[in-house]
Amino acid sequence: MSQQYETLRVTHSGVVARVALNRPDIRNAFNDTMITELRDVFARLNQEPDLRVVVLTGEGNSFCAGADINWMRKMLAYSYEENLGDSLALAHMMREVYEFPRPVIGRINGAAIGGGTGLVAVCDIAVAVETAVFSFSEVKIGLVPACIAPYVIKKVGERHAREFFLTGERLRAAKARDCGLVNVVVPPEELDDEVGRYVDTLVSSGPCALSMCKRLIRDVTQMSLEQAGPHTADVIARLRVSDEGQEGMSAFLQRRRPDWWLDTEESWTDESSGTFHDD
């Protein structure tokens, strides 16, 4: 990937891509440019056949502080149609990250506020530092967490969403973990090791199986039991006769590693040694 971005930093380490929100001077607040660039980078990553995992994070001490104040100031003069266009772009971006066919790990290195919590929610797995805080603060300025609501409610459920959306309270990392918004909370010095542990686990699994897992979760949750039975039977039957399924079952029976298994002995975060490179 040779594309350069104004608001993002994209690096690669083998089969792992790292997408970092890169506006640390304003705590990685997003604007229309970042939304466009996130849509572009995930579309480009989707065209990389060897890609196995994406790590989404923020540069500096924050993950994402929500909407950029200067962008919000411009919105004051927007018409309904202009606001609708902006909002649809945000909604599309959230859905495209959520439905990305490879696993997306959120490396939550600091505060995630407003729309930033939406980016946490669309990740498949989120690892947060214990100092991170989270907030759905939109009601404090007369708005609502609209475009991120479908993904947050999927993660935390209606009971927690009612509390968090209505109060706009700041959540400590432990509470975000307990309600399901994030999976794991660690001290800052352990963040990369924990993310690396998930990366190692994911690259030892079948790439097609992981992609199908994401589709299965999305599809089955919208089906009745009558619909789910035939659908899931078809899914597993197709995977069993696929090249990946045949290799995986053969490797298991022969007590060997399948051919997709990767050893990630080098740290995926060691940029000083050149493990990551800008493309």
Q: What residues act catalytically?
A: 138
Residue 259 in tokens = 């051919």
CB 168 within 8 A of CB 135: yes
Cα-to-chain-centroid distance, residue 195: 13
**What is the Cα–Cα distance from 200 to 11, expressed in whole angstroms?**
18
What φ, ψ does residue 127 adopt, rounded to 5°? -115, 120
**What is the Cα–Cα distance from 116 to 128, expressed in whole angstroms?**
13
Q: Whole-angstrom distance between the N-terminal and C-terminal Cα of the chain?
A: 5
Which residues make Cβ contacts (< 8 Å) with residue 261, sequence separation at least 6? 203, 204
What φ, ψ does residue 64 adopt, rounded to 5°? -165, 120
Name the CA radius of gyration of the chain, rounded: 20
Distances (CA, A) of 120 to 115, 231, 239, 246: 9, 29, 30, 35
